[in-house]
Structure 1
Amino acid sequence: MKYVRQFGIILGITFIGEILNSIVPLPIPASIYGLVLMLILLVTGVIRLEQIKETGVFLIEIMPMMFIPAAVGLMVSWQSLESILLQVIVITLISTVLVMVVAGKITQWIVYRKEGHQDERDVI
C-alpha cells in the first residue's frame, strides 16, 4: 500500500504539471513543470523524501524501458529519417559534446566555489 501512496503523490504532482502547462502560456513541457514543482515541494519540506523515495528509485531503475517506445518510433519513421541521417548524426554528436563540456565546466566551477576558491580563472 505504501508504494501505491508514493506513486499517487508522484502522479498527482505530474498531473498538476499538466494543468500548469495548459494554464501558463509558455513553451515549457508539462514534465518540466512537474519536476520544478516536485523540487519546490521537496526543498520546502511539504513533501519529505521518505514519502516518495522507494517509488522514485523504482521508476529510475525502469527508466531504460521507457525509451523502447521512442526507439520503435524511430524504426517506424526510418523512411523519413533516412534522407537526413547524416545531419541528425552530426547535430547529435555536436550537441552531446557541447552539453558535456558545459556541464563539466559548470560542475568544476561549483566545486571550486564550494572549496573556497574565488578566482574563476582557475576553472576556465
Structure 2
Amino acid sequence: MKNIIYTIMAISICLISGRMLYSVIGGLPASLYGMIMYCLLLQLGWFNPDKVQQANQWGIKHMGICFIPAAVGVINHFELFQRHGYSIVAIILVTTFILITFVGILAEKYLTKRSKPAVDAEDY
C-alpha cells in the first residue's frame, strides 16, 4: 500500500511540475513534460524504481481501459477514415518505423558506450 501511495505521489508531482513547465514554455503537452520529468527523476535516482515498479506494471497491464475513448473518437469520425484511411495507415507505419529506428540507434549508442569494459594498463 505504501508503494502505491509513493507511486501516485511521484507521478502527481511530475504531472503538476509538467503543467507548470507547460505554462512557462508551452510547445509540448503538459502530460508529456510530466512523463519526461518522471523518467529523468527515475534515472537520476530521486524516485526509487523498486518502489514504483509494481504500481507502474499494474497501470501498464490495465492501460487498455484508457484507449476506449480513442476508439469512440474513431467511431465518431469514421467518414474521415473512409476518405483518408490509406494515408493515415501509411503515416502511422512510416512514423512508427522512424521512431523505432531512432530509439534503437540511440539505445545502441548509449548502451554500448556504458557496457564497454575498462582497459587495464597491464594489457599494453
TM-score, normalised via structure 2 length: 0.72
Q: CA deviation at 1:115?
A: 4.7
Which string of whole-angstrom CA distances, capped at 9 and with x for unpartnered residues, describes residues 13-56 of structure 1?
212212321x2233111122112222343344433224433322
Aligned to 1:35: 35
Q: How does 1:1-124 map to 2 (within 5 A)?
A: 1-2=1-2, 3-21=4-22, 23-116=23-116
Distance 1:62 1:114 in 2: 33
Higher helix share: 2
**Aligned partners of 2:10 and 2:47 also within 8 Å:** no
Q: CA deviation at 1:75?
A: 1.4
Distance 1:95 1:54 in 2: 31
Question: Mind listing any 5+ residue stretches in structure 2 that lack a counterpart?
Answer: 118-124
What is the letter of the counterpart of residue 47 of structure 1? F
Question: Mind listing any 5+ residue stretches in structure 1 that lack a counterpart?
Answer: 118-124
Q: SS at the partner of 2:47?
A: coil
Distance 1:93 1:30, change over 3 A: same
- How many residues align? The count is 116
What is the letter of the counterpart of residue 55 of structure 1? A
Identity percentage over the alignment?
23
Higher alpha-carbon deviation: 40-49 or 53-62: 40-49
